[in-house]
Amino acid sequence: MYTYTDFDKHFVRQRAAQYRDQLDRHLAGRLPDDEFRALRLQNGWYVQRHAPMLRVAVPYGELSATQLRGLARIARDYDRGYAHFTTRQNLQYNWIPLDKSAEVMDQLAAVDMHGIQTSGNCIRNITSDCFAGIAPDESVDPRPYGEIMRQWSTLHPEFAFLPRKFKIAVTGASEDRAAIGWHDIGLHLVKNEAGEIGFKVLVGGGMGRTPVIGTVFREFLPWQQILVFIEAVVRVYNRYGRRDNIYKARIKILVKAEGQRFVDDVNAEFKDILERDVDGTAHIIPQSEFDRVNASFVIPAGVAARPSTGIPMPADLPASYGRWIQRNVHAHKLSGYRAVTLSLKRTGQAPGDITDAQMELAADLADRYSHGELRVSHDQNLVLPWVLESDLPALWEAARSASFATPNIGLLTDMIACPGGDFCALANARSIPLAAEITERYQDLDELWDIGDIDLHISGCINSCGHHHSGHIGILGVDKDGAEWYQLTLGGSDGSAISGGPLAGKVIGPSFAADEAADAIEAVIDTYLSQRQGSERFIDTVKRVGLDPFKAATNAVRRTTARELPADTASASASASASAD
Amino acid sequence: MRFIHTPQDPWRTVHGDDGPMVTITPKPNLLLTWLQWHSVCHHWPAGVPVGVILENDQDVRDVEADLPRLGLIALRFPKWVDGRAYSQAHLLRSRYRFQGEIRALGEVLVDMLPLLQRTGFDAVVLRADQSREAAERALTFFPGFYQGDVQEHRPRFARPANDSSDGATGYLNAGASI
């Protein structure tokens, strides 16, 4: 993984010092709340229900065992002994007092970490495929490009106060595990017929109130030009993006409203930078810089393809080992190696949550089995990227005793969920109790396996941190008269091969009351099981039979909301409820 | 970075009783709105210093032809978190080679100073309650940056490895921590 230079180390330390200066002025009453707010946000500090929340950047999801131990120490010494991995591969703390925040920034800097641009209306942490550099379906490793873009976007002076947040995701594999269509800029590294590397560039994707899939701006942009192209996109956005309405301020609205005119403006700006600006080509990435950064992303010393002996299947291990192999162990580009997901989806803990002790255990597993390296997945799990096939039985034993071995990756209980109303000041409803209720109901592994591949995504509000739009089943928390309600969507896709092209799910019926939501999910699952043909996946059944059977089944479990339904609701006409909320 | 103390500043705006549209007699160091400038630019005598104030939704392309005649361009921050003027300043310097003063007006806070300096501003009128000392300190934290800017066009990767324009290595070697 990327090795910090002296400059990089000094830079994050000075960022911490700058933050301390701002905090001191704030605590001394010289920097009022609303002005300190924008500054602390750009270092990852929100103020939540109970205390400030800190979001720590995990660039493109790559993490060392040493860093994870540093994060564990912060959870233990400054928080209440746990933290939460997010869908954008970051880590969040919930209970750190604000007057300790500068100290925590120093602690992060000590392990080459920071909260720079993890919030605020700026270019956020760049996310990627959690199997970057190890996936067999990958043609170009996105990590060095991600690192070069991270450095370029860090403290960019022109783009710190954009109309709204700006998110970039990059992948280099044929399977999209980074949901690039849902990002402000989505980048897909590809090789052309001549074998040259370039980016397919999508612009203007996003979730929130108006889900939009990004538009292809370039089919093949030579990789050397990517920083200039992003600069052109962001400059046009900074100039024309709406600032009068927070819900219309993302670039997706501008791309939709302006259409070809926006594309033309970006292309003209790109040309002007290169042809007219002083040193306009200075940000063309030279091969030497790529090579310098790429040197950090070589295969770890001691790792080399070896003849595969197959996955060991010792007869004395229980069936759950076999299940773990099937769900939590993934193909690798190197023969003899596998990637292993440590599941952070289990009863008793919220999706993506991890205690300080579990962080230490995961760091130990990474040291012992994965050359000290881990990844954070978009689905809020941890991944060990360099595991020898022959180590799998021992790793399974160790992961199981650390509660990381639930064999549920890609299944219903491997759900994405935001922290919701238990923590988040923005949320309309809680996510965690509903996630817990669903997890409790689907504890039977046979049943879970029978249901098969399915993406369940839960967001506590329309900000969509839990990516409800892209779930095969999406749950959105809504507030009506101060009570928690849940809107259900079906058929969404993050853009993965199983799910089909990226697509926002469709709403089925009026929102469900809090005491109906889990029943409604169960009704959706039961409908799938009764309707599916052969080994058809959930998403394919939804596509084939449409929403009506699901509407009828979920309406049948309504109690609190039964009287709100129109009289002919059982027939569930396709247009009945799309605008229910 | 110059900190403008308004009473000693030679530049004067022009206000009429009924708003900004008044008869303007050319004299040195008038700071005009874009509309005012347009009402007088055709007969403004060469050699009489003049400046304009641009709102942050103004397209700086429209100003390009006038730049050789302008000594000062003041860019306004109606809210400090509205970052459009950074792009305006960047374009004025990098694309249109404007050599005169670029001044930040409006809600200008001390923590904006590093951004202002790097996008091409060379003068600021701080909001009245702001501390000049804190503003000057805000410019000292980072000895260098990754991306290029108006002051140093080259990003870090395009500069020689032993470039002295950032002192990180020496600073670390000197044993300093935070």
Report d(CA B35, CA B56) in Å as an integer: 14
Residues A306-324 pLDDT 10s: 998 899 999 999 999 999 9
Q: How many domains does chain B have?
A: 2
B155 and chain A in contact, CB less than 8 A: yes
Task: Kindly indicate the confidence band of residue B145, based on its pLDDT and cuts at 50, 70 and 90.
Answer: very high
Locate A67 and state its tokens: 């860093």
Least confident of A184-193, A520-529, B9-18, B29-38: B9-18
Q: Please report, as a single letter, which amino acid is at residue A395.
A: L
Closest C-alpha to B101, from B133, B82, B128, B75: B75
B144 and chain A in contact, CB less than 8 A: yes
Q: Is the pLDDT of residue A552 over 80?
A: yes
Q: Is the pLDDT of residue A525 over 60?
A: yes
Q: Which of A13, A154, A286 sits opposite B146 (nearest CB)?
A: A154
In this structure, the dihedral spanned by the alpha carbons of residues A385, A391, A392 and A398, taken in order and rounded to 10 degrees, is -90
- Do B35 and B98 have their domain in common? yes
Q: Is the pLDDT of residue A500 over 70?
A: yes
Task: Kindly indicate the confidence band of residue B164, based on its pLDDT and cuts at 50, 70 and 90.
Answer: low
Contact B87 A158 (CB under 8 A): yes
Report d(CA B110, CA A3) in Å as an integer: 33
Report d(CA B5, CA A43) in Å as an integer: 32
- Do B159 and B137 have their domain in common? no
> Average pLDDT of A398-406?
95
| Confidence at residue B15, expressed as pLDDT on a 0 to 100 scale | 81
- Do B158 and B173 have their domain in common? yes
| Confidence at residue B22, expressed as pLDDT on a 0 to 100 scale | 67
Q: Are strands A62-64 and A456-459 parallel, antiparallel or unpaired?
A: unpaired
Write down the residue that tokens 């190890």 correspond to: A134
- Do B137 and B149 have their domain in common? no
Residues A278-303 pLDDT 10s: 999 999 999 999 999 999 999 999 99
- Helices A356-369 and A392-401, axial angle in degrees (round to 10): 170
**Is A416-571 a domain of CATH 3.60.20.10?**
no
- Do B74 and B154 have their domain in common? no
Q: Is the pLDDT of residue B161 over 90?
A: no
Residue B29 domain boundaries: 2-141
Distances, alpha carbon A272 to alpha carbons A192, A560, B68, in Å: 26, 60, 20
Residues A408-453 pLDDT 10s: 999 999 999 999 988 888 889 999 999 999 999 999 999 999 999 9
| Confidence at residue B160, expressed as pLDDT on a 0 to 100 scale | 81
Task: Kindly indicate the confidence band of residue A579, based on its pLDDT and cuts at 50, 70 and 90.
Answer: very low
B104 and chain A in contact, CB less than 8 A: no
Q: What is the CATH number of domain A321-401?
A: 3.30.70.3340
| Confidence at residue A580, expressed as pLDDT on a 0 to 100 scale | 35
Q: Could you tell me the CATH number of the domain that includes residue B51?
A: 3.20.20.70
Closest chain A CA to residue B147: A152
Least Cα separation, residue A151 to chain B (angstroms): 6
Sketch the domain layout of chain A as residue ranges. Answer: 6-110, 127-293, 321-401, 416-571
Q: Is the pLDDT of residue A566 over 90?
A: no
Residues A72-108 pLDDT 10s: 999 999 999 999 999 999 999 999 999 999 999 999 9
Q: What is the ipTM of this complex?
A: 0.93
- Do B57 and B108 have their domain in common? yes
Chain B residues close to A155, C-beta within 8 Å: 114, 142, 145-146
A21 and chain B in contact, CB less than 8 A: yes
- Do B112 and B102 have their domain in common? yes
A127-293 matches A416-571 in fold: yes
Q: Which of A38, A159, A278 sits opposite B81 (nearest CB)?
A: A38
| Confidence at residue A466, expressed as pLDDT on a 0 to 100 scale | 94
Closest chain A CA to residue B151: A278
Contact A155 B142 (CB under 8 A): yes
pTM for this one? 0.94
Q: Is the pLDDT of residue A50 over 80?
A: no
| Confidence at residue A67, expressed as pLDDT on a 0 to 100 scale | 98
B145 and chain A in contact, CB less than 8 A: yes
Chain B residues close to A275, C-beta within 8 Å: none
Q: What is the mean pLDDT of chain A?
A: 94
Q: Is the pLDDT of residue A197 over 60?
A: yes
* Phi, then psi, of A454 in degrees rounded to 5: -160, 140
- Do B126 and B178 have their domain in common? no
Contact A158 B83 (CB under 8 A): yes
Residues A340-377 pLDDT 10s: 999 999 999 999 999 999 999 999 999 999 999 999 99
- Do B128 and B58 have their domain in common? yes
Q: Which of A14, A157, A282 sits opposite B154 (nearest CB)?
A: A282
Chain B residues close to A239, C-beta within 8 Å: 84, 87
> Average pLDDT of B131-151?
96
| Confidence at residue B32, expressed as pLDDT on a 0 to 100 scale | 96
Q: What is the CATH number of domain A6-110?
A: 3.90.480.20
Q: What is the CATH number of domain A127-293?
A: 3.30.413.10
**A237-256 residues touching B, CB cutoff 8 A:** 238-239, 243
Chain B residues close to A38, C-beta within 8 Å: 80-81
| Confidence at residue A49, expressed as pLDDT on a 0 to 100 scale | 75
Q: Mutation test of the interface with chain B: which of A7, A149, A289, choosing the one with the most B Cβ atoms within 10 A?
A: A7
B56 and chain A in contact, CB less than 8 A: no
Task: Kindly indicate the confidence band of residue B162, based on its pLDDT and cuts at 50, 70 and 90.
Answer: low
- Do B134 and B109 have their domain in common? yes
- Do B148 and B87 have their domain in common? no
Distances, alpha carbon A433 to alpha carbons A94, A302, A436, A460, B118, in Å: 17, 45, 5, 11, 48
- Do B176 and B157 have their domain in common? yes
Q: Is the pLDDT of residue A490 over 50?
A: yes
Q: Which of B81, B90, B137 sits opposite A158 (nearest CB)?
A: B90
The larger pLDDT score, comparing residue A190 to residue A579, is at A190
Report d(CA A464, CA A383) in Å as an integer: 24
Residues A270-284 pLDDT 10s: 999 999 999 999 999
Contact B158 A282 (CB under 8 A): yes
Residues A111-136 pLDDT 10s: 999 999 999 999 999 999 999 999 99
Closest C-alpha to A181, from A494, A562, A529: A494
Contact A22 B111 (CB under 8 A): yes
